[in-house]
């Protein structure tokens, strides 16, 4: 029968192949689903994997969707590598959007383009502040960061609701819960006219490089990784786990907040109750599927975006339900975790009832 | 005062949902496993229970179906985490995310379905006592079952041999293994029972609490249940009380709105979540307190023989 | 450097996957041949050429699931009525659960690229995305429900749901025994506040002693929350419930508690046969047929607003239960006929706000602009509007 046997050392080949294998399994299950639903599976796969990259417009839409995923995914990858489990990136995203909107709403007709910088920075600051609460409570009171960050997501959501239904509501908006549409000066500059992709994409790509440098070329990054892989060794070496905690949370919160600010000052152009789009949770999958590596995060973000857009297109082109997107994403993470075991273990075919050779004990001389 | 009695009744009902899930998670965590997939399990169980109720017309069958669905998902999680030693937090998250999408997908044909007439329950005699009657004795049997479960679980954990073994596995799996107990099998059993209870909670939501299926209808209750176990320092009776507390806060929020209280409704809705954070802070403050109460091997993988 | 190598291997792996996918894609035939797949990069995009001889392609964007038994279900019924009436001349499609957020823009653009020349957006939150896409595609017609921004190729439409609410109020006022009515509100926008007010005015017309209490769930569709909200209203003494949310949860809660309630947007009798008094049902069919016909014969013009009510057959109180006694039914019929022939004007002074200030002097009838901006509760409704009715 098949048995799992520990490898002598973790297999590097498998750690690269695992996401691909997981994707392959997900695709196979997806094909089965399509057939069960009575749809042409090839057409289904085409809608999910080909349509989103078929034209320039489609590619720009893919970039628009992938940008927040990359940004948040980078932060989370760093966080998870440090063994800090920030599940509340969605809340940090929302608060970043709130801060960015607050700044954007201060603009008037005479404000120059420089305000865009302030808006973006404000977004990052907002996310950092929200994650800072988590860090503080963990640092000072030992409160579990998973639960605190998660509860804060709900709190952030309610805070957003309060602001757009109350003090920040557009007075000319017929009492609808939304802020004013931000003035043109505050809007994130687009990369090409006619398409929605904006400089956020450039920021994301720059961040990929920055995070790679931080993680793999700086002492601080080294400390973070050791702290995550072998906490006892880190303590012995004198690495401060407190510093790691704060750095990880502030960075990931800042990235999530940045993504929120870009989203609200970019494609949306105003703050509405619908700003929370689930990016904070999807980014968790992005981080894992990307092997917690900055470059991997880019590819997995693109893949996740294809799932999102493909799911939308599957609805309008094939009449498939929207929830398929969620199924694929969850399935991908699940299969990835399963395939990851093959990095540490390998499958061996062992005949059942094989007699174990008993070592012959030789009496030691001179004992 | 009648309104107060009805508020109590609503609190008991709302708390029961959380109680079942939290007690299930308690069993998990006592064995040393954190299952973040509670939300996903509850959702899949909700749709399984609802579908069963639609096709069979039998509520009890529906609850059983929910339990089975929860146990099944928990088993998949358990295999990953106990035998393959994958990261517990990531695996639980994957379960949650998958459960959310899968339940929405499977539940599509059921969004327009209606269940038959819902029975209302009352304990004859007791239900007519003024004030106390409407508050306590007109509940669905599962509300009383939750209380019975709490008592049974407390007895099991602290007065039975099997419970002792379970706690031992949670405190020090290496010692339990050395004593000859099959740690992995015990953990799997705990995970599956916990999953079944989460499943009952999920099915209760879709079949009794809000007899309707819509995607995402668990609306975060799975995550609150997770917080509850920590909030209650892993003791069954405290879990039940905590569940009622949270259920009550949710109902209170609407009550206050209806009475014209001026606080913006969003701050009222925030209350349960802020309360959870507050309690987490309070109990985590003293590391000794936590160490005494928290099962020591929570979240850590176990490798027999190595 | 091992890390660089790993990165290159990953790149190669993904690259080959993408290349394989591209090969698969290139070998498939193009789906739709009539229109361009993307707006051009220049400011004046190429407009999709309308298919000269084929049916008119019409697309609908829904905010909720078609199976919600409420708002979206009503829209889909209207779409099906239009399809039935116009047969081969039209080809309809829909996308459901389109969020009221940035993603909506992509859905509308995709609808345009699929060759649809008449597009309906069925919720307020689509206003900005539709406007953007409308500006980029001048030859496509856009219809936005419940909004207020228009363009040369975009107009708005709505139904006078408050007339349905008024009629429900007439029934409620006569059926309540506790004189406390409960409303589960969705989002505190003028449309919903207007409905709550009209419901109260209708009830007061047969029973001046009623009070209305409101609880807000801050969402259009959330059955568990709606259940809890309804329960708290019942706990507070309400025995007849009304809703402005999109699911039958409120009716079901009333059924469980032995109270009475109404269906909203669609006929919800089946969800709570014992509690159901009547359903305020929106009938989008007549408007959709009109809009499609105008698009077909070329008389469609943008920029306006259509607001139909009982008179045009867009809304009615249906499935009135036998529990309603004959004399109350007669009053209801009188109200309905009055709305049909215009003799009954719901919003005619004297109307006082619940803060005591007069909002409409005696004899004055409110115009549509007044109705659109309602931010106050009438006398008899308890509490204040969240977010402060300024």
Kindly determine whether residue A330 and residue B97, on different chains, have CB atoms separated by under 8 Å: yes
Triad A108, A109, A115: Cα angle to 5°: 60
Cα–Cα distance, B101 to A44 (Å, whole number): 18
Assess if CATH 1.10.3470 describes domain A40-319: yes
For residue B75, give every residue at least 6 positions away whose Cβ sits within 8 Å of its Cβ, in sequence order, or none: B188, B191, B192, B195
Q: Is B258 on the interface with C (CB under 8 A)?
A: yes
Kindly determine whether residue A137 and residue B280, on different chains, have CB atoms separated by under 8 Å: yes
Cα–Cα distance, B20 to B5 (Å, whole number): 23
Q: Nearest CA to A203 among A261, A162, A157, A159?
A: A261
Kindly determine whether residue B6 and residue C235, on different chains, have CB atoms separated by under 8 Å: yes
- Count CB pairs under 8 A between chains B and C: 97
Q: Is C63 on the interface with A (CB under 8 A)?
A: no
Q: Is A331 on the interface with B (CB under 8 A)?
A: yes
Work out the angle between the directed axes of helices A324-344 and B88-106 (0-180°, nearest 10): 150
CB–CB of C275/C294 below 8 Å?
Answer: no
Q: What is the per-residue pLDDT across C112-167, written as a single tens digit (0 to 9) for each? A: 988 999 999 998 889 888 998 999 899 999 999 988 889 999 999 999 999 999 99
CATH class of the domain whose range is B2-293: mainly alpha
Q: What is the mean pLDDT of chain C?
A: 82
Q: What is the per-residue pLDDT across A209-257, written as a single tens digit (0 to 9) for each? A: 999 999 899 888 888 888 888 878 888 888 888 888 999 999 999 999 9
pTM: 0.80
Query: Does residue C181 surpass a pLDDT of 50?
Result: yes
B-proximal residues of A, 138-177, CB under 8 Å: 141-144, 146-148, 150-152, 154-155, 158-159, 161-162, 165-166
How far is C-alpha C241 from the geometric centre of its chain's CA atoms? 20
Q: Across the interface, which of A58, A166, A295 has its CB nearest the CB of C387? A: A166
**Does the interface ipTM go beyond 0.85?**
no
CA of C55, closest CA in chain B: separation in Å? 30
Minimum CA–CA partner of A277 in chain C: C101
Q: What domains, with CATH codes, occur in chain C?
A: 56-159+285-309 (3.40.50.2300), 161-282+313-372 (3.40.50.2300)
DSSP state at residue C267 = -
Kindly determine whether residue C224 and residue B250, on different chains, have CB atoms separated by under 8 Å: no
Query: Does residue C1 surpass a pLDDT of 60?
Result: no
Mapped to the 3 state alphabet, what secondary structure does chain B carry? CHHHHHHHHHHHHHHHHHHHHHHHHHHHHHCCCCCCCHHHHHHHHHHHHHHHHHHHCCHHHHHHHHHHHHHHHHHHHHHHHHHCCCCHHHHHHHHHHHHHHHHHHHCHHHCCCCCCCCCCCCCCCHHHCCCHHHHHCCCCHHHHHHHHHHHHHHHHHHHCHHHHHHHHHHHCHHHHHHCCCCHHHHHHHHHHHHHHHHHHHHHHHHHHHCCCCCCCCCCCHHHHHHHHHHHCCCCHHHHHHHHHHHHHHHHHHHHHHHCCCCCCHHHHHHHHHHHHHHHHHHHHCCHHHHHHHCCCCCCCCCCCCC
Residues in chain C within 8 Å Cβ distance of A277 = 99, 101-103
pLDDT at C39: 34
Q: What is the per-residue pLDDT across C12-47, written as a single tens digit (0 to 9) for each? A: 455 444 444 433 333 333 233 223 333 333 333 334
Q: What is the per-residue pLDDT across C358-373, written as a single tens digit (0 to 9) for each? A: 888 888 888 888 888 8
**Radius of gyration (Cα) for chain B, nearest Å?**
20
Q: Across the interface, which of C225, C235, C387 has its CB nearest the CB of B7? A: C235
CA of B111, closest CA in chain C: separation in Å? 5
CB–CB of A160/A100 below 8 Å?
Answer: no
CB–CB of C176/C239 below 8 Å?
Answer: yes
In the predicted model, residues of chain A with pLDDT beneath 70 are: 1-3, 174-175, 194, 352-367
A-proximal residues of B, 215-274, CB under 8 Å: 215, 220, 223, 226-227, 230, 264, 266-267, 269-270, 273-274
Minimum CA–CA partner of A158 in chain C: C218
Q: Is A230 on the interface with B (CB under 8 A)?
A: no
pLDDT at A95: 96
Query: Does residue C251 surpass a pLDDT of 80?
Result: yes
Torsion of CA A15, A20, A26, A28, to 10 degrees: -130
Cα–Cα distance, B134 to C308 (Å, whole number): 46
CB–CB of C280/C164 below 8 Å?
Answer: yes
Residues in chain C within 8 Å Cβ distance of B117 = 255, 273-274
Domain segments of chain B as ranges: 2-293
Spell A259-298 as b/e; 16+ CB within 10 A means b: bbbbbbbbbbbbbbbbbbbebbbbbbbbbbbbbbbbbbbb
Q: What is the per-residue pLDDT across C270-301, written as a single tens digit (0 to 9) for each? A: 888 889 999 999 999 999 999 999 999 989 98
A-proximal residues of B, 160-199, CB under 8 Å: none
In the predicted model, residues of chain B with pLDDT beneath 70 are: 1, 112, 116-118, 260, 290-292, 304-306
Q: Nearest CA to C243 among C225, C235, C257, C256?
A: C225
Q: Across the interface, which of B90, B97, B269 has its CB nearest the CB of A281? A: B97
Spell C283-319 as b/e; 16+ CB within 10 A means b: bbbbbbbbbbbebeeeebebeeeebbbbebebbbbeb
For residue C86, give every residue at least 6 positions away whose Cβ sits within 8 Å of its Cβ, in sequence order, or none: C289, C292, C293, C296
């Amino acid at each position: 029968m098949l048995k799992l046997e520990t490898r002598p050392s973790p297999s590097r080949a498998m750690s690269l192949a695992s996401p691909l294998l997981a994707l392959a399994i997900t695709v196979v299950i997806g094909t089965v689903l399509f057939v069960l639903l009575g749809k042409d599976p090839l057409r289904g796969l085409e809608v999910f994997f080909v349509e989103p990259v078929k034209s320039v417009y489609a590619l720009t839409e893919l970039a628009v969707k992938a940008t927040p995923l990359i940004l948040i995914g980078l932060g989370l990858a760093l966080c998870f590598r440090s063994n800090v489990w920030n599940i509340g990136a969605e809340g940090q995203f929302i608060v970043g959007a709130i801060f960015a909107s607050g700044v954007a709403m201060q603009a008037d007709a005479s404000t120059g383009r420089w305000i865009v910088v302030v808006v973006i920075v404000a977004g990052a600051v907002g996310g950092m502040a929200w994650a800072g609460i988590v860090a503080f409570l963990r640092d000072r009171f030992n409160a579990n960061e998973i639960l605190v960050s998660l509860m804060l997501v709900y709190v952030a959501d309610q805070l957003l609701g309060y602001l757009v239904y109350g003090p920040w509501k557009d007075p000319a908006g017929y009492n609808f819960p939304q802020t004013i549409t931000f003035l043109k000066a505050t809007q994130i500059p687009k990369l090409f006219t006619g398409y929605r992709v904006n400089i956020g994409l450039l920021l994301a790509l720059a961040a990929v490089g920055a995070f790679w440098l931080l993680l793999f070329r700086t002492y601080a990054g080294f400390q973070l990784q050791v702290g995550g892989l072998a906490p006892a060794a880190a303590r012995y070496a004198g690495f401060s786990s407190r510093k790691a905690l704060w750095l990880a949370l502030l960075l990931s919160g800042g990235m999530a907040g940045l993504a929120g600010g870009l989203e609200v000052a970019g494609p949306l152009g105003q703050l509405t109750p619908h700003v929370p789009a689930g990016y904070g949770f999807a980014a968790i999958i992005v981080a894992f599927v990307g092997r917690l590596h900055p470059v991997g995060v880019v590819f997995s973000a693109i893949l996740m975006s294809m799932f999102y857009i493909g799911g939308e297109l599957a609805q309008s082109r094939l009449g498939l339900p929207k929830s398929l997107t969620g199924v694929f994403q969850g399935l991908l993470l699940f299969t990835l975790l399963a395939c990851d075991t093959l990095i540490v273990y390998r499958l061996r075919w062992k005949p059942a009832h094989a007699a174990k050779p008993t070592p012959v004990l030789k009496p030691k001389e001179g004992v | 005062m009648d309104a107060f009695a009805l508020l109590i009744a609503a609190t008991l009902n709302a708390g029961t949902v959380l109680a079942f899930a939290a007690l299930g998670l308690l069993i998990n965590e006592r064995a040393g496993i954190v299952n973040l997939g509670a939300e996903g399990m509850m959702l899949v169980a909700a749709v399984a229970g609802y579908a069963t109720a639609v096709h069979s017309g039998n509520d009890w069958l529906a609850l059983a179906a929910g339990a089975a669905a929860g146990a099944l998902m928990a088993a998949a999680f358990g295999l990953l985490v106990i035998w393959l030693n994958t990261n517990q937090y990531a695996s639980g998250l994957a379960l949650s995310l998958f459960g959310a999408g899968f339940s929405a997908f499977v539940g599509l044909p059921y969004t327009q379905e209606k269940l038959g007439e819902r029975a209302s329950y009352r304990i004859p005699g007791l239900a007519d006592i003024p004030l106390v009657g409407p508050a306590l004795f007109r509940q669905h049997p599962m509300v009383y079952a939750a209380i019975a479960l709490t008592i049974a679980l407390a007895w099991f954990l602290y007065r039975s041999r099997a419970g002792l073994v379970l706690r031992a596995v949670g405190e020090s799996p290496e010692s339990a293994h050395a004593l000859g107990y099959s740690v992995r099998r015990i953990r799997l059993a705990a995970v599956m029972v916990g999953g079944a209870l989460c499943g009952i909670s999920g099915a209760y939501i879709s079949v009794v609490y809000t007899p309707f299926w819509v995607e995402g209808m668990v609306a975060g209750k799975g995550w609150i249940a997770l917080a509850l176990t920590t909030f209650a320092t892993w003791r069954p009776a405290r879990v039940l009380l905590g569940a009622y507390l949270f259920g009550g806060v949710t109902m209170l929020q609407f009550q206050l709105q209806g009475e014209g209280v001026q606080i913006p409704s969003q701050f009222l809705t925030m209350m349960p979540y802020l309360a959870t954070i507050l309690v987490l802070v309070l109990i985590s403050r003293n590391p000794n307190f936590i160490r005494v109460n928290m099962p020591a091997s929570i979240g850590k993988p176990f490798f027999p023989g190595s | 450097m091992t890390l660089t190598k790993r990165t290159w291997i990953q790149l190669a792996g993904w690259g080959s996957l993408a290349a394989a996918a591209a090969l698969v894609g290139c070998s498939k035939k193009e789906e739709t041949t009539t229109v361009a797949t993307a707006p051009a990069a220049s400011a004046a995009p190429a407009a999709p050429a309308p298919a000269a001889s084929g049916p008119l392609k019409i697309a609908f964007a829904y905010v909720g699931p078609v199976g919600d038994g409420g708002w979206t279900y009503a829209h889909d019924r209207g779409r099906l009525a239009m399809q039935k009436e116009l047969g081969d001349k039209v080809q309809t499609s829909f996308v459901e659960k389109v969020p009221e957020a940035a993603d909506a823009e992509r859905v509308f653009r995709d609808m345009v690229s699929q060759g649809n020349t008449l597009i309906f957006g069925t919720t307020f939150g689509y206003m900005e995305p539709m406007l953007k896409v409308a500006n980029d595609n001048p030859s496509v017609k856009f219809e936005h429900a419940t909004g207020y921004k228009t363009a040369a190729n975009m107009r708005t439409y709505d139904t006078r749901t408050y007339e349905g609410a008024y009629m429900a109020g007439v029934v409620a006022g006569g059926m309540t025994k506790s004189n406390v009515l409960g409303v589960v509100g969705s989002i505190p926008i003028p449309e919903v506040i207007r409905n709550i007010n009209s419901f109260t005015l209708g009830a007061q017309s047969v029973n001046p002693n009623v009070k209305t209490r409101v609880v807000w769930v801050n969402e259009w569709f959330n059955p568990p929350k709606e259940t809890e909200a309804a329960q708290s209203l019942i706990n507070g003494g309400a025995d007849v419930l009304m809703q402005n949310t999109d699911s039958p949860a409120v009716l079901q809660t009333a059924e469980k508690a032995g109270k009475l309630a109404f269906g909203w947007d669609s006929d919800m009798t089946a969800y709570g046969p014992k509690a159901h008094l009547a359903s305020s049902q929106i009938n989008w069919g007549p408007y959709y047929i009109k809009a499609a016909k105008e698009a077909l014969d070329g008389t469609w013009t943008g920029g306006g607003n259509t607001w139909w009510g009982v008179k045009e057959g867009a809304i009615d109180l249906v499935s009135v239960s036998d529990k309603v006694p004959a004399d109350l039914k007669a009053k209801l019929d009188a109200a309905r006929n009055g709305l049909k022939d215009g003799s009954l004007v719901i919003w005619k002074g004297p109307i006082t706000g619940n803060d005591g200030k007069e909002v409409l002097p005696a004899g004055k009838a409110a115009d549509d602009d007044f109705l659109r901006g309602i931010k106050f509760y009438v006398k008899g409704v308890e509490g204040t509007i969240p977010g402060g009715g300024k």
